[in-house]
Amino acid sequence: MSTPLISLRGVTKTYGSGQAAFQALRGVSFDIAAGEFVAVMGPSGSGKSTVMNILGCLDVPSSGEYVFEGEQVERLDRTQRALLRRHCLGFVFQGFNLLARTTALENVELPLLYRGLPLAERHAQARAALALVGLTGWEHHTPAELSGGQQQRVAIARAIVTQPTLLLADEPTGNLDSERSVEIMQLLTDLNRAHGITVLMVTHEPDMAAWASRTLRFADGLVSHDSAREAAP
Amino acid sequence: MFWNALLLALREIRRNLLRASLTVLGIVIGVAAVITMVTLGNGATALITAQVASLGSNIVIVRPGQRMSPGQPAGWAPAFKEEDADAILDNVLAVREVAASAQRGSTVSYMTESTFTPVIGTLPNYLDVGSWKLAEGRFFHEGEQRAGRAVCVLGESVRAALFARGSPLGEKVRFRGVACEVIGVLAPKGQSALGQDQDDMLLMPLKSYQRRVAGRRSRQDVGTLLLAVREGQSTERVVREVADLMRERRGIAPNEADNFSVFDTRQISDALSSTTRVLTTLLGAVAAVSLLVGGIGIMNIMLVSVTERTREIGTRLAIGALEREVLMQFLVEAVALSSFGGLLGIALALVASFALTNLLHLPFVLDLQIMLLAFLVSAGIGVLFGFVPARRAARLDPIEALRHE
Ligand SMILES: Nc1ncnc2c1ncn2[C@@H]1O[C@H](COP(=O)(O)OP(=O)(O)O)[C@@H](O)[C@H]1O
Ligand SMILES: [Mg+2]
């Protein structure tokens, strides 16, 4: 097997300190190869979001090692991590985190703006991304004018508009009905197959996890089950 | 990078118009209040300075009756005689000239117009000693004074009341049965520092006044003596010497109080400038409060929006913005709003102080330094409170900023 896209070794994360300290991750290790489509499952509070935040370079581990494309992430400074987010990562937040009073189009084009793309290209790509998530015609609506499901899809469009190497999605179908959920799964599968984007997706629903090629199961801040390890004898 | 920051900043301003306008309003209030107050204060000071200057320097004024301060009415006291004026000129060497004058309120008429004004009899040196200038015509000369000719010079207010159009020169005005030829008009001085219309008077030779206007009993009386002090001589000494001389001439016992008063224009200007100082301090305090209120307004708005903005910053960082790009955006936003507010404040201040100085008949004196200072302080508060919370937020890890509550 070639070098993995992602490699976590003994990653821990402790929130707070002293009496109030809480260890959300207690030594997580796994590899993910480029082009995989991985579902992350586990009961709530098991550390799924925490590990996604670390993988997305939004947070830093308390100890352990995170290697992304051969780059040791702990050794990068703030600017380098920001550039990694800008050029390689797409993140769909559990709580969307769209800019308020900002149209869907402007929300989606924002990552392209930070990449320094000219206006025409930004708009074309943002419209295309919105079309992919089925929001054609909703470009000029602000989050307040969109339903939870639509906001979720704007958030997905914003994460995929840059064609990232790795797409991290924290419960991307949590607010969608099953029909929409299937569409999103179809979309993620397409992105994964046709564009070679590696996808990590947190989900509670086994139906959704079934779309993935591999399942990581979390419990109490540890990986309790990895379908890839099971398959390999 | 700058253009991106500008674009993002403008978008953010457009999106939060209410917040932006409240910030701008805070700055506008601060800047406009300070500049307007200072302009008014400067105007009042300039006015009073000009009025003190219009009294002439090196002038000592002697009046019958005791007054505590210039402007208070005198109690009854014996008038001066013309001989008192001569005695001062002879005995107090530092006095260059004495302009004696006597006055009596009279109704002055010309054709169908009439006005009530003090008719003042005085000497030809009154023009020079009182720092008056002529608008047209000439002043009466020694010959006319000695001959007691019926000629007069009008103050501007009297001219305006009697001669709405046409020149008064050569015309005859009437008062107390006298027909008097107008030979000159004084250039206006406006209101005195005490609010009197200095241009409301009619001047004629003292001799003519005594002969034709003064009452039988007070024929030899003169009222006010204006003394011109020689260049380089101390007016204080003149005040002392004149007081001693007058006590002697009026036979005042050592334990009695003066029944006349002597003061120099410095005393007037001192009294007035202490008034302006109080005024300026007061205006300054009001302005400082406005600046503070404006500043607190800005701080409030900025601090209230910190939570929302911290999340916004978290989102921007999460999708790949660099710390310095975020900071640049917020700096541009704060500077744009603050300087816009500052300029608007200056414009408003110009309009307001122009209108107010006009209304209050004050000179319009702009102080560029204060304008700059007010602008910098207000805009500084705006930039500081727009920028500092943003800087704190931009230094967080994105996830911390996103979790901010
Ligand atoms: N910022 C935080 N401070 C303290 N505890 C936290 C914080 N974030 C998460 N936790 C705790 O860490 C554990 C794992 O959280 P999370 O990764 O969000 O779980 P989930 O698997 O539901 O996404 C939970 O018990 C949660 O209470
Ligand atoms: Mg979670």
Among residues B65, B4, B45, the alpha carbon closest in space to that of B269 is found at B45
For the residues A156-174, what does the mean pLDDT come to?
93
pLDDT for the residue numbered A112: 95
Closest Cα to atom 25 of ligand 1: A45
Could you report the predicted ipTM of this complex, rounded to two decimals?
A: 0.94
For the residues A160-172, what does the mean pLDDT come to?
94
* Atom in ligand 1 nearest the alpha carbon of residue A42: 21
* Helices marked H in A11-162: 48-55, 78-88, 104-115, 119-132, 148-160
CB A173 within 8 A of CB A154: no
pLDDT confidence tier of residue A231, bands split at 50, 70 and 90: low
- Tens digits of per-residue pLDDT, A32-51? 999 999 999 999 999 999 99
- Tens digits of per-residue pLDDT, A130-152? 999 889 999 999 999 998 889 99
**Distance from Cα A71 to the centre of ligand 1, integer Å:** 27
Neighbours of A141 (CB within 10 A): 16
Task: Provide the percentage of residues in chain A whose pLDDT is more than 90.
Answer: 81
| Within a domain: A18 | yes
CATH number reported for the structural domain that contains residue A111 in this entry = 3.40.50.300
Mean pLDDT over the full length of chain A:
92
CB A159 within 8 A of CB A184: no
pLDDT for the residue numbered A160: 94
| Within a domain: A180 | yes
Rounded distance, CA A168 to CA B353, Å? 61
| Within a domain: A204 | yes
Ligand 1 touching residue A174 (CB < 6 A): no
pLDDT for the residue numbered B72: 47
| Within a domain: A220 | yes
Quote the domain boundaries for residue A175. 6-228
CB B360 within 8 A of CB B40: yes
**Taking 80 as the threshold, does the pLDDT of residue A178 lie above it?**
yes
Report CB contact under 8 Å: B15, A59. no
Report CB contact under 8 Å: B321, A86. yes
Ligand 2 is an ion; its neighbours by CB within 5 Å are A 49
Q: Which of A11, A12, A13, A22 to mutate to test the pocket of ligand 1 (most atoms within 8 A of CB)?
A: A22
Domain ranges of chain B: 2-51+272-403, 78-258
Ligand 1 touching residue A15 (CB < 6 A): yes
Q: Which of A50, A58, A59, A222 to mutate to test the pocket of ligand 1 (most atoms within 8 A of CB)?
A: A50
Q: What is the pLDDT along chain B (405 residues), one digit of tens a residue?
A: 678 888 888 888 888 888 888 888 888 888 898 888 888 888 888 877 777 776 666 788 888 877 554 444 555 678 888 888 889 989 888 888 888 888 888 999 998 999 999 999 999 989 888 888 999 999 999 999 999 999 999 999 999 999 988 899 999 999 998 999 999 999 998 876 666 788 999 999 999 998 888 877 777 788 888 888 888 788 888 888 999 998 888 888 888 888 888 888 777 777 777 877 788 788 888 888 887 887 787 778 777 777 788 999 999 999 999 999 998 888 888 888 888 999 999 999 999 999 999 998 888 888 888 889 888 887 888 788 888 888 888 888 899 999 887
Q: What is the CA radius of gyration of chain B?
A: 33
Residues of B with Cβ-Cβ distance to A101 under 8 angstroms: 15-16
Question: Into how many domains does chain A fold?
Answer: 1
